[in-house]
Structure 1
C-alpha cells in the first residue's frame, strides 16, 4: 500500500474548496466548487475534500452536526521554504492561531491556522 492522498470530510464544502484553491493556491486536479468532492495537487501527494454528509451516507453512518467534533483530530503539515514569507503572503487571507516561531526541540520554524472546517494546518521549515 502507498498513501495517495489525504481526504478531509467537511461540512462546508464550497467554502473549503475556495480556501484550498484560491487562498492556498493548490491546483485542482478533479472537481469544482459544486461537485462535493475535489482533489488538489500539493506536490508529493494529493489533498482532497469531500462533503461529510455524502461520505457518511455512503458508509451508512449518521451525520454528526456538532461543529467542533473534528477539531484537533487531524493536522495537515505543509513544508515551506520560508515560514515567515508564507505567513506574510497568507496573513491577510487566513486567521493564524500562532505566529511564526522556532521549535528548536522539533528542529523547525512553524505557524498554524485552520481551514474553514476547523482542520488544523501547520506550515513549517527546518531550522
Structure 2
C-alpha cells in the first residue's frame, strides 16, 4: 500500500483552490481553478493535498449529499519560521483563528481556516523530535 494524498471534499471549489494556491502558496500539479479536482504540493514536499468537488463525489457516495457539520479535517504544514509565515499569510489577507502560540514546550502553532472551514495548522518545531 502506498500513501497517495489527503483529499478535502469541498463545496466552494474555486474559493478553496485560490486559498491553497494564492494564500498558502502551495503549487498546483496542474491548473484546474474550476475543478472538480486539483492536487497541490508544498515546496520540497512529496505528500499532496487534493481538493474534490463534494457534489461530484456525492454522485459516487450518496452519503455525502448532506452538508457536513463541524470540522472534518486538519491539514498540518511544517514551517521553519512560524512568525515569518504568519506575517506572509497576513499580506495575503489570511487571519489566524489561533496563534502563533506554543502548543507544547517543543512546538509553536498557528491555525487558519480555508473557505470551507477546514483547519490549517502551521507548526514550527523548536527542538528536534526524538
TM-score if structure 2 supplies the norm length?
0.87
SS in 1 for 2:29: strand
RMSD of aligned residue pairs (Cα, Å): 1.5
- Does the Cα contact within 8 Å between 2:112 and 2:119 map onto a contact in 1? yes
- Does the Cα contact within 8 Å between 1:31 and 1:39 map onto a contact in 2? no
Deviations 1:29-85 (A, max 9, x none): 13411231101112121110010011011223351135xx1x323111100011110
Q: Which residue of 51, 54, 64 corresponds with 2:53? A: 51
Structure 1 residue runs without a partner (length 5+) = none
Q: How does 1:46-125 map to 2 (within 5 A)?
A: 46-61=48-63, 63-65=65-67, 69=69, 71-92=70-91, 93-105=93-105, 107-125=106-124
State the distance in 2 between where 1:49 and 1:98 align. 24
State the distance in 2 between where 1:13 and 1:117 align. 9
Q: 1:19 to 1:62 in 2, by over 3 A?
A: closer
Structure 2 residue runs without a partner (length 5+) = none
SS in 1 for 2:85: helix
Give the number of equivalent residue pairs: 123
TM-score if structure 1 supplies the norm length?
0.88
